[in-house]
Amino acid sequence: MHVLYDLIRRGEYSGEPIIALGSSHGGYIANLLSKFAPNTLSAVFDNSSYPSPPLHYVIGRDLRQAEASCRAPSLPNLVWLCNVKSGWSSFVENDNYFSKDRQEIRCFSGDTLTEMADYGGNRTVYRFYHSAHDAFVPACSKLALAAALRERGFDVYEYVMDEEDVDGRFVKNLSHGMGLSLRLMFERLYATVDVFEGPTDIGLRSEIMFRGETHDYVFRYGSDGVRALCRSSGWARPARAFGRVA
C-alpha cells in the first residue's frame, strides 16, 4: 500500500484495477494485502499459499523445530538444523510473546475474514491453485479457506491439481508450488474475473480495524499515506513500515 500511495502521489496511478498474485509465501502476502486493504484489490491469484504462517518460521527455535537443514559435502553425516533469529517468543511472560492476537493479525483466516468482508463489501475475487499432494501445505487447508470466504459472500474458486493436470508446461509437478508458471496462471485466471473500478482504500480514506483480546490493529489510509497502529489497553503506537509489527 505504501507503493500504491507513492504511485498516486506521483500521478502514475489513474485508477486501473489492481490484482495481486504470488506463489507460496508470495500468495500469502497477496491475501494479507486484501485483508488489510479490502477496498483496493480487484482479485488475488494465489498458488499454494498457507492461510496462516507456519509457526516454525516465527518461533521455531522455542518449539525446537528447524526452519531449514543443510549438510556439508565434506561431513555427510552431520546435519545443521537452522533458524533465523526471531523477534518473537513463545513464552507468555515475555513482552514479545507471540500471542493469539499477534497470530490472528498475520492469518488470512478466522473471524477476521468477517471483518474484512464487512469493510470491503466482498469486492475482491479469489482464485486458488493448489496441489492435491502438497506435503507442506495440505490442500484441505486451502479448501477450508475457500469455503470460509464463500460463506462470507466472496467470489472464490479453487483449482486442486492432481496427476492428470501435470503437463510439464503449466504444472511441472505436484510438490509444493508445482513449479507453476505465474504468467500462465495470470493469463488463465484473468478471464474468470470481473474487475471492479472504483476508489481504493486510499481514495476512500478508509480506517480498517481488527479487534483482539489484548491488541487492536488499525490501518488508516489518507492523503498523507498509510498508517498502521497497534492499540493495547487504551494506548496506541505506530507500527513500523518495515520490520517487526507489534
pLDDT for the residue numbered 232: 76
Asked whether 180 and 49 are in contact (CB, 8 A), the reply is no
* DSSP characters over 164-225: GG--SSS---SSTTTT--HHHHHHHHHTT-----S--HHHHT-EEEE--SS-EEEEEEETTE
CATH superfamily membership of 2-61+88-203: Alpha/Beta hydrolase fold, catalytic domain (3.40.50.1820)
Strands 75-82 and 125-131: unpaired
pLDDT for the residue numbered 246: 53
pLDDT for the residue numbered 16: 84
Q: Which of 24, 20, 51 is nearest to 33 (CA)?
A: 20
3-state helix, strand, coil in the chain (%, to 5): 30, 25, 45
pLDDT for the residue numbered 207: 95
List C-alpha distances in Å: 77 to 55, 70, 74, 179, 226.
28, 11, 9, 30, 51
Asked whether 198 and 206 are in contact (CB, 8 A), the reply is no
Asked whether 72 and 78 are in contact (CB, 8 A), the reply is yes
Distance CA 204, CA 125 (A): 19
Distance CA 161, CA 48 (A): 11
Residues of the chain below pLDDT 70: 233-246
pLDDT for the residue numbered 236: 43
Q: What is the dihedral of CA 102, 24, 228, 88, to 10 degrees?
A: 40
Distance CA 110, CA 33 (A): 16
Domain boundaries, the chain: 2-61+88-203
pLDDT for the residue numbered 141: 95
Distance CA 47, CA 177 (A): 7
The model's pLDDT over 200-225, given as tens digits with 9 standing for 90+, comes to 999 899 999 999 888 899 999 988 88
pLDDT for the residue numbered 44: 97
Strands 19-23 and 43-47: parallel
Distance CA 69, CA 79 (A): 7
pLDDT for the residue numbered 237: 41
